[in-house]
């Protein structure tokens, strides 16, 4: 498996992926025109023709047989062209000295605090390939690219996690809050934001603070809670250093998690090494390996061993990366230290 930049030639494969994803992934629409437009923009981004405000680093996961089975993306910055909204869960204090009342009320504050940060987005892996190291490769490959080209990204990376919804796709948070102001189903509002149409949020969303005690209990119960299918991805990112700091999605109440770019484990611990072709031996561990290229970026997982500034991999692994012995690579172990796993 190889992670590489997406191109227009991937359009048929991404359309097939979009149909398998269903309606839940608005950034991978089953719409040839919209997908073509995004792929064209991704090609411009990898050609160095996009500013950080517009950069869309879209990657695909390609099997050894040449089949595209997943996508992931990095946004250079959010909110620099259009407002990017979140709720911050804070406190509103209602107090009266005369009555002896002092209440601290959890309250939702609408804001644009994430403006300028880079974003992990558009992660999807076909159900038939969700085994082995494929998921970790697809998700974490972006960190090696980010580590190699730090100047293209912000000082903080964020990720909006899918919020809780029931088996019928109903979001209690949306039903308890958003529906009152938008008068549409959650899927329709989510679809509009996926189109890039966020103006309606500013026009319809109330600007005043909303004490959560005014929401129905089912809506309060899912604030900051992820969809069950998203829990593995959340755990993976927490192990890399991401944390929930009281920001949530305005539609489904899902958590926004964040980490300073330099504190992401895979960014911080990655090393620039010289590639050596040989037998990694019994001490080999799975490593993420990046060929340090921009437009011709290739990232893969290889059983490898680090020794004296070299990364020893098999000939097959070197061939998958398209690299000869002696090439410079960036690599990081996929094994997360136990202390970080326990913290997650």
Report yes or no: 163 and 251 within 8 Å, Cβ to Cβ.
Answer: yes
Residue ranges per structural domain of the chain:
81-114+155-265, 270-343
Kindly give, in sequence order, each residue whose CB lies less than 8 Å from that of residue 207, ignoring residues fewer than 6 positions away: 110
Q: Tokens at residue 308, please? A: 């004296």
**Single pTM value for the model:** 0.88
Task: State how far the Cα of 321 lies from the Cα of 310, in Å rounded to an integer.
Answer: 16
Closest CA to 23 of 227, 232, 231, 188: 188
| Torsion sign, CA atoms 214, 215, 217, 222 | negative
Q: Residues 117, 126, 227, 290: which is the catalytic one?
A: 227
Report yes or no: 299 and 290 within 8 Å, Cβ to Cβ.
Answer: yes
Annotated catalytic residue 227: yes
Facing residues of 75 across strands?
A: 56, 119
Its CATH architecture, for the domain 270-343, is Beta Barrel (2.40)
Give a three-class secondary structure readout of the chain. CEEEECCHHHHHHHHHHHHHHHHHCCCCCCCHHHHHHHHHHHHHHHCCCCCCCCCEEEEEEECCCCCEEEEEEEECCCCCCCCCCEEEEEEEEEEECCCCEEEEEEEEEEECCCCCCEEEEEEEECHHHCCCCHHHHHHHHHHHHHHHCHHHCCCEEEEECCECCCCCCCCHHHHHHHHHHHCCCHHHHHHHHHCCCCHHHHHHCCCCCEEHHHCCHHHHHCCCCECHHHHHHHHHHHHCCCEEEEEECCCCCCEEEEEEHHHCHHHHHCEEEEEEECCCCCCCEEEEEECCCCCCCCEEEEEEEEECCEEEECHHHHHHHCCCCCCEEEEEECCCCHHHHHHC
Report yes or no: 28 and 18 within 8 Å, Cβ to Cβ.
Answer: yes
Each residue's pLDDT expressed in tens, for the chain with a length of 344 residues: 899 999 999 999 999 888 877 655 667 777 888 899 999 999 999 999 999 999 999 999 999 888 999 999 999 999 998 888 999 999 999 888 888 888 899 999 999 999 999 999 988 888 888 888 888 999 999 999 999 999 999 999 999 998 998 888 789 999 999 888 888 887 777 777 666 666 677 778 888 999 999 999 999 999 999 988 888 889 999 999 999 999 999 989 999 999 999 999 999 999 999 999 988 877 789 999 999 999 999 999 988 989 889 999 988 888 888 889 999 999 999 876 544 443 33
Distant-in-sequence contacts of 30-33, Cβ < 8 A, 24+ apart: none
Closest CA to 335 of 279, 281, 280, 265: 265
Facing residues of 124 across strands?
A: 71
Facing residues of 2 across strands?
A: 62, 300
């Amino acid at each position: 498996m190889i992670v590489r930049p997406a191109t227009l030639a991937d359009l048929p494969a991404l359309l097939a992926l979009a149909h398998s994803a269903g309606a839940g992934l608005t950034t991978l629409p089953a719409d040839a025109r919209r997908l073509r437009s995004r792929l064209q923009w991704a090609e411009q981004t990898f050609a160095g023709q996009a500013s950080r405000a517009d950069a869309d680093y879209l990657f695909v996961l390609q099997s050894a047989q040449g089949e595209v089975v997943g996508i992931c993306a990095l946004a250079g910055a959010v909110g620099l062209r259009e407002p990017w909204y979140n709720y911050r869960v804070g406190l509103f204090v209602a107090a009266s000295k005369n009555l002896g009342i002092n209440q601290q009320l959890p309250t939702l504050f609408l804001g644009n605090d994430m403006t300028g940060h880079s974003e992990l987005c558009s992660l999807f892996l076909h159900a038939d390939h969700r085994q082995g190291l494929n998921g970790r490769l697809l998700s974490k490959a972006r960190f090696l690219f980010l580590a190699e080209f730090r100047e293209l990204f912000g000082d903080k990376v964020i990720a909006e996690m899918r919020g809780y919804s029931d088996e019928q796709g109903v979001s209690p948070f949306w039903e308890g809050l958003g529906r009152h102001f938008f008068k549409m189903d959650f899927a329709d509002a989510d679809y509009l934001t996926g189109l890039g149409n966020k103006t309606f949020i500013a026009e319809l969303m109330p600007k005043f603070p909303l004490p959560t005690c005014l929401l129905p209990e089912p809506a309060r119960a899912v604030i900051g809670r992820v969809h069950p299918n998203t829990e593995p991805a959340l755990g993976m990112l927490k192990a890399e250093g991401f944390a929930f700091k009281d920001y949530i999605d305005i539609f489904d109440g899902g958590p926004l998690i964040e980490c300073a770019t330099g504190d992401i484990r895979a960014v911080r611990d990655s090393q620039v090494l010289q590639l050596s072709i040989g037998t990694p031996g019994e001490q080999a561990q799975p490593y993420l390996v990046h060929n340090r290229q921009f437009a011709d970026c290739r990232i893969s997982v290889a059983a490898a061993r680090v020794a004296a500034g070299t990364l020893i991999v098999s000939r097959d692994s070197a061939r998958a990366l398209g690299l000869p012995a002696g090439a410079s690579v960036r690599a990081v172990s996929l094994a997360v230290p136990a202390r970080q796993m326990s913290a997650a």
